Amino acid sequence: MLASYPALRLLCIVCPAIVSGVYFDVALHFWLYAGLGVFFAMCAGLIVNVVSKPRRDAPFSSVVVLYGLLMFCGFAAWSSYSYRYVSGDTVLRYLGKDVLVYGNVITKPGRSAAGFSWVVDVERVFDGERYITASGKLQVFLRSDPAMRPAVSTGDRIWVKGRPELISPPRNPGDFDAREYYRMSGIWASMYLYGPWMMVNSGPGSDSRFLVSVVRPLQEFLQESMDMLISGEDERNFFYGLVLGERDMIDEGTYEHFRRTATAHVLAISGLHVGLVVLLVLIVLQRLRTTSAGRWVVFGLVAFMLLVYCQVTGNAPSVRRASVMTVILLGGYAMGRKIYPLNSLAAADLLMLSLHPLELYQAGFLMTNAAVASILLVFPLLARISVSWKGRSASLRTAIWNSLGITIAATAGVAPLIALYFGTCSIIGLLANLPVVFLVTVMLYTMLPALVFNMFAPPVAGLYGLSAEFVSSLTLKTAELFSSLPWASFDCSPGAGFVFLYYVTMGIVLFCIHEKRYAAAVIVMLLAWNLVAWETFFREPDGGGGFLQPLGLRQGQAVLLHDQGGLTLLVGTDAHPASEDIIADQMRYFGIDSIDVAVEFFSSATFSDQFPSRHLLPAAEMALSRQGAVIARSGKNRVNILWPDGSVAVVVDGIDALTAFSGNPGYRVICRTGRFSISDYKRVENWFRTAEPGELILMCERRISDEDRRLVDYFSSRNPSARAWHDGR
């Protein structure tokens, strides 16, 4: 069955190899030596095959197996190296030091409410005494007015002055892990620039002629054309995202409308946009495709235009995948070979993973592949339903059903990944995708002639521009309408194991249907459903004392406490409005519907009336009893919680409040501190030996020094029942 899909067979080896290289923390030489041994064994096998002349109809050869193992070891070594190793001259050598960094801007500037960010490929560093050759990628953030144009562009050579720092880990459980995300892209450090005066832009380098002469003029033409043709700000920003890949120009509210309706995929530049570029070339050069030489001319022009378009749109994974797949398909057509789209998709993936193996962990890479593969595999099954339709309206019904079928197929492929990465599942997605995808397609196909005519006939381009703006406005209103429905989406956070089980089950079921083993397909689905239903019985129960979880808020800290009986307390808040959103996210992460008691602590801030708590202990009140638990203050720096089961938790603010508290053996204590000097270490150690708490959590504020943080870590390493929690580190 897979004889016509060699790239797919190899991809089935490469993906587990990349995962193994990242997951298994073994030395790099393990994979290299294993690969070397397999290589020699494969050479020996080839010699044996030449001498013994095995039967050609043999089901498999040992050499084929060894070749697969060689590919496995090679990609495992490549991914392990990419994930764990950096060069000796990396910019990480200058962490925490004020230096000048020179490098090449390799990504389009991203826009946020506070400024712009981009990635620099470091070439040199000036440490105050000498220029030193350096390497590595550096995430740079420039504080600036976001309404202004970015101060840099892709390909610029710039000097930046600042202090490289490690990218911060997530502050709270379930938060976005920026450090791991950028690590998968080979970026380990970041630098903050307080203003444009901390940067000097030298412009494009001498090796950027293609960028200067082709890419940037096209970018400027497209941007100026859309500024002239589209008058509405929301509609114009929408086109910026669709045509130029500048999704940060799209309003957050607009993006939320598309996210809630599972139509956010139209905002990513992918196959739809690449197909538009290819269609433009094929229409103009249709007559050339009648000869072999003409087909190669068309192939070269399409490949060149896709290369340019990739650079114009920021070289996103989705557009790279679609472009490589298109080039492979057209290359096969030019050679006169039969094309297998699924094999072309796998070949495109192999090429991308060979260059950047950790791209396998990028959400965009996984979702675009899941959507395309699902369309290629599931849609033909759905299209069979309309084959037998007859009557006057058969064509119309078939067209509608095929559109719905593509939506169903794509949703079936990408929905689990959306739930995994974004924690949401759209109920109305199937219905919303029909009009939204259709309108976006009309938008792009209307905007294309507007951009072409704008080069030589602006009045004609204006007519097309008005049409494109009207359709764009209609698209935004349609997404907003579907998003306004109260049942448009719901929170859903499946684990990675469930998502893996889903795709394995989907693959086996599709194989059974292809082989017309329908009973086997039903059995596989029932087995998968049983695994999901019984999964809760294999979970380990929570400990008897529940949990104490420090939380990092926007401007302060809080503590989330939960006991085995289901009672939940929140101690602390701050004055920033975004902090309540952080608390709400943590409630969803831990499966908490509502806070039973909210205690004002750590600051003078109060909870708003909209905060989802059943009871409140204001700062002016000393005690509260609810559901068998007693919450009582002991001064302004300590809160005692007596749980219904008799266990005690204590939250204290500061080392002084901790050491003044006598405590009892078995108490669970959490202490917030902004310092931890040598004298504090000795005081806490003496208190720890005397009080003998069941658990001590030292909750370090953001302002604590690195030296004090290391001392806290040292204390927790020497005492098994103590642990450190660092806000923002």
Do 364 and 220 lie in one domain? The reply is yes
State the Cα–Cα distance between residues 569 and 587, nearest whole angstrom: 11
Tokens standing for 499? 């998502």
Do 141 and 76 lie in one domain? The reply is no
Domain final position from 53, 84, 115: 84
pLDDT digit string, tens, across residues 705-719:
889 999 999 999 999
Give the residue, 360 or 555, on which the prediction is more confident: 360
Cα diameter, the chain: 91
Q: How many CB atoms lie within 10 A of CB 156?
A: 22
CA distances to 410, 427, 433, 657 from 382, in Å: 12, 20, 17, 67
Give the confidence band of 546 by pLDDT, cuts at 50, 70, 90: low
Do 534 and 560 lie in one domain? The reply is no
Do 699 and 558 lie in one domain? The reply is yes
For residue 538, what pLDDT is reported? 64
pLDDT digit string, tens, across residues 355-371:
999 999 988 888 888 88
Count of CA atoms in the C-beta half-sphere (13 A) of 262: 31
Kindly state the DSSP code that residue 723 receives in the 8-state scheme.
E
Query: Is the predicted pLDDT of residue 195 greater than 80, yes or no?
Result: yes
Q: Count Cβ atoms within 10 A of the Cβ of residue 255 and give its class: 0-12 exposed, 13-18 middle, 19 or more buried.
A: middle
Domain final position from 84, 111, 137: 84
- 391, 394, 482: which is closest to 434 by C-alpha? 482
Domain of 154, CATH number, reads: 2.40.50.140
> Packing angle between helix 317-334 and helix 341-355, nearest 10 degrees?
130
Please state which of the ranges 126-130, 134-138, 449-453, 662-666 shows the lowest mean pLDDT. Answer: 662-666
Give the confidence band of 234 by pLDDT, cuts at 50, 70, 90: confident
Query: Is the predicted pLDDT of residue 192 greater than 90, yes or no?
Result: yes
Most confidently predicted of 39-53, 286-300, 462-476, 533-547: 462-476
State the Cα–Cα distance between residues 328 and 7, nearest whole angstrom: 12
- 434, 18, 474: which is closest to 234 by C-alpha? 474
Rounded mean pLDDT of 93-122?
90
Domain extent, residue 159, equals 91-207
Do 250 and 307 lie in one domain? The reply is yes
State the Cα–Cα distance between residues 108 and 246, nearest whole angstrom: 9
- What mean pLDDT value characterizes the chain? 85
SS (H, E, C) 1-70: CCCCCHHHHHHHHHHHHHHHHHHCCCCHHHHHHHHHHHHHHHHHHHHHHHHHCCCCCCCCCHHHHHHHHH
Is there a contact between 602 and 558 (Cβ–Cβ < 8 Å)?
yes
State the Cα–Cα distance between residues 83 and 370, nearest whole angstrom: 24
Give the residue, 527 or 606, on which the prediction is more confident: 527
Tokens standing for 378? 């599931």
**Single-letter amino acid code for the residue at 171:** R
Do 608 and 500 lie in one domain? The reply is no
For residue 542, what pLDDT is reported? 46
Do 300 and 170 lie in one domain? The reply is no
For residue 610, what pLDDT is reported? 60
State the Cα–Cα distance between residues 698 and 691, nearest whole angstrom: 15
Give the residue, 392 or 605, on which the prediction is more confident: 392
Query: Is the predicted pLDDT of residue 254 greater than 90, yes or no?
Result: no
Three-state DSSP state, 688: helix
Domain final position from 207, 228, 245: 207
pLDDT digit string, tens, across residues 371-413:
888 988 998 888 888 888 887 788 888 888 887 888 888 888 8
Residue 303 lies in a domain: yes
CA distances to 37, 66, 317 from 61, in Å: 18, 9, 36
Please state which of the ranges 523-537, 544-558, 621-635, 701-715 shows the lowest mean pLDDT. Answer: 544-558
Residue 203 lies in a domain: yes
pLDDT digit string, tens, across residues 625-640:
887 888 888 878 898 8
Contacts for 255 with CB less than 8 Å, ≥ 6 apart: 247, 264, 267
Do 607 and 639 lie in one domain? The reply is yes
Residue 713 lies in a domain: yes
For residue 107, what pLDDT is reported? 86
State the Cα–Cα distance between residues 356 and 540, nearest whole angstrom: 38
Domain of 691, CATH number, reads: 3.60.15
pTM: predicted TM-score of the whole model, two decimal places:
0.83
Query: Considering its fold, how many domains does the chain have in total?
Result: 5
Do 648 and 675 lie in one domain? The reply is yes
State the Cα–Cα distance between residues 698 and 658, nearest whole angstrom: 10
Rounded mean pLDDT of 664-690?
90
For residue 1, what pLDDT is reported? 58
State the Cα–Cα distance between residues 31 and 80, nearest whole angstrom: 9
Do 421 and 385 lie in one domain? The reply is yes
Give the residue, 318 or 431, on which the prediction is more confident: 431
Residue 334 lies in a domain: yes
Residue 669 lies in a domain: yes
Query: Is the predicted pLDDT of residue 77 greater than 90, yes or no?
Result: yes
Query: Is the predicted pLDDT of residue 102 greater than 90, yes or no?
Result: yes
Residue 56 lies in a domain: yes
Is there a contact between 190 and 138 (Cβ–Cβ < 8 Å)?
yes
Query: CA angle at residue 308 from 303 to 311, to 5 degrees?
Result: 125
Residue 1 lies in a domain: no
Do 49 and 137 lie in one domain? The reply is no
Do 565 and 667 lie in one domain? The reply is yes
CA distances to 73, 322, 372, 510, 534 from 346, in Å: 19, 11, 11, 18, 35
Give the confidence band of 543 by pLDDT, cuts at 50, 70, 90: very low
Query: Is the predicted pLDDT of residue 654 greater than 70, yes or no?
Result: yes
Residue 613 lies in a domain: yes
Residue 85: in which H helix or E strand, if any? none
For residue 59, what pLDDT is reported? 46
Residue 368: in which H helix or E strand, if any? helix 363-383
- Buried residues in 655-667 as b, exposed as e (16+ CB within 10 A): bebbbebebeeeb
Tokens standing for 460? 């004609």
